[in-house]
Copies of this chain bind each other. A is one copy, B any other.
Amino acid sequence: MNPPLILDGKAIAANVLNTCRAEAAALTKAGITPGLAVVLVGDNPASQVYVAAKTRTCAELGLLSRQIKLPANTTQQELLAIVRQLNADPAIHGILIQSPPPPHIDEAAIIRAIDPRKDVDGFHPQNVAKLVLEDPSGFVPCTPAGCLKLLEVAGIPTAGAEAVVIGRSMIVGKPLAMLLVSKQANATVTIAHSRSQDLPAICRRADILIAAVGRPEIVKAEWIKPGAVVIDVGINRIADPGKKSGYRLIGDVAYAEVAPRCAAITPVPGGVGPMTIAMLMQNTIQAARQLGG
């Protein structure tokens, strides 16, 4: 077989971001600088990395960004009050509460408190429903949207394809299945998960396999139909004393053994991750456009 096409999420995201930059400039010229507020409660190290990346990308695109870092003992009421302030703030078009918050926080209640028109993560019930109902005025969660965009830009057809999504979370698996089965993508979609019987056999049916499990390298070579397209959503931190940071990132897919069997595959890092941030920027610009000045 030919070597697989490496789906370069960094390069494709850079293209999306170029479009975002132009749109942000046009909006700014019209008096509306798109603004994103990112709220981080506590000091989860992975969350800090993500928040820094989002803030940096905003700066690169000319978006206003506001980082709100709160101590781990912030109360539900305090966090709700901050969400309400951001809802009312005309300079802010997108609000993101970095997940996971500390365990004493009722995350679902916080999400419900976000103005759905500013819910650029697409987790508010109104946006969840709009995704199912195929109403394009809603916000699509960034990671599923990024996966679809990656397929689209790479010219990988989804219509009539057998797509298998491993994972049924509210953040990736379920919305991704809804996107793939929509009239926009027209895939035949299977949702598999921890309770599925014979996961390898289910995955071997996939023309497009999307792993969103959160377990390092569980997808092995023998799970792959030769010539399949593999999208790896997993970002798992593995201790690595050889690295300055003390860790390295690996996906849900055993890349080295899987890649030779694929037609195309995303690396980790540099695959879905950059696409997720690009979709967040796109959603923030959509929010600014819809909300106006």
Tell me whether A289 is interfacial, beta carbon within 8 Å. no
> How many Å lie between the Cα of A189 and that of B188 in the bound state?
11
Query: What is A's interface to B at a CB cutoff of 8 Å?
Result: 108, 125-126, 128-130, 132-133, 159-162, 168, 170, 174, 177-178, 181, 186, 188-193, 195-197, 202, 205
Q: Does the CB pair B191–A160 fall under 8 Å?
A: no
Q: Does the CB pair B188–A191 fall under 8 Å?
A: yes
A–B pairs, 27, beta carbons within 8 Å: A125-B125, A125-B130, A126-B126, A126-B129, A128-B132, A128-B133, A132-B170, A132-B178, A159-B195, A160-B195, A160-B196, A161-B197, A162-B197, A162-B202, A174-B178, A177-B177, A177-B191, A186-B193, A186-B195, A188-B190, A188-B191, A188-B192, A188-B193, A188-B195, A189-B190, A189-B191, A205-B205
Q: Does the CB pair A132–B133 fall under 8 Å?
A: no
Q: Does the CB pair B132–A174 fall under 8 Å?
A: yes
Give me the 9 closest cross-chain CB pairs, A-B, nearest first. Answer: A125-B129, A128-B129, A186-B195, A190-B190, A188-B196, A129-B129, A160-B197, A181-B191, A189-B191
> How many Å lie between the Cα of A217 and that of B272 in the bound state?
42
> How many copies make up the complex?
2
> How many Å lie between the Cα of A190 and that of B197 in the bound state?
14
Chain B proximity of A95: nearest CB distance (Å): 18
> How many Å lie between the Cα of A246 and that of B272 in the bound state?
57
Q: Which residues of B contact A174 (CB under 8 A)?
A: 132, 178, 181
Q: Which residues of B contact A162 (CB under 8 A)?
A: 197, 202
Q: Which residues of B contact A178 (CB under 8 A)?
A: 132, 174
Q: Which residues of B contact A161 (CB under 8 A)?
A: 197
> How many Å lie between the Cα of A108 and that of B133 in the bound state?
10
18 more A-B residue pairs beyond the given contacts A128-B129, A132-B170, A174-B178, with a C-beta to C-beta distance below 8 A: A125-B129, A125-B133, A126-B126, A126-B129, A128-B128, A128-B132, A132-B178, A133-B170, A160-B196, A160-B197, A161-B197, A162-B202, A168-B181, A177-B191, A188-B193, A188-B197, A189-B190, A205-B205
Q: Which residues of B contact A177 (CB under 8 A)?
A: 177, 181, 191
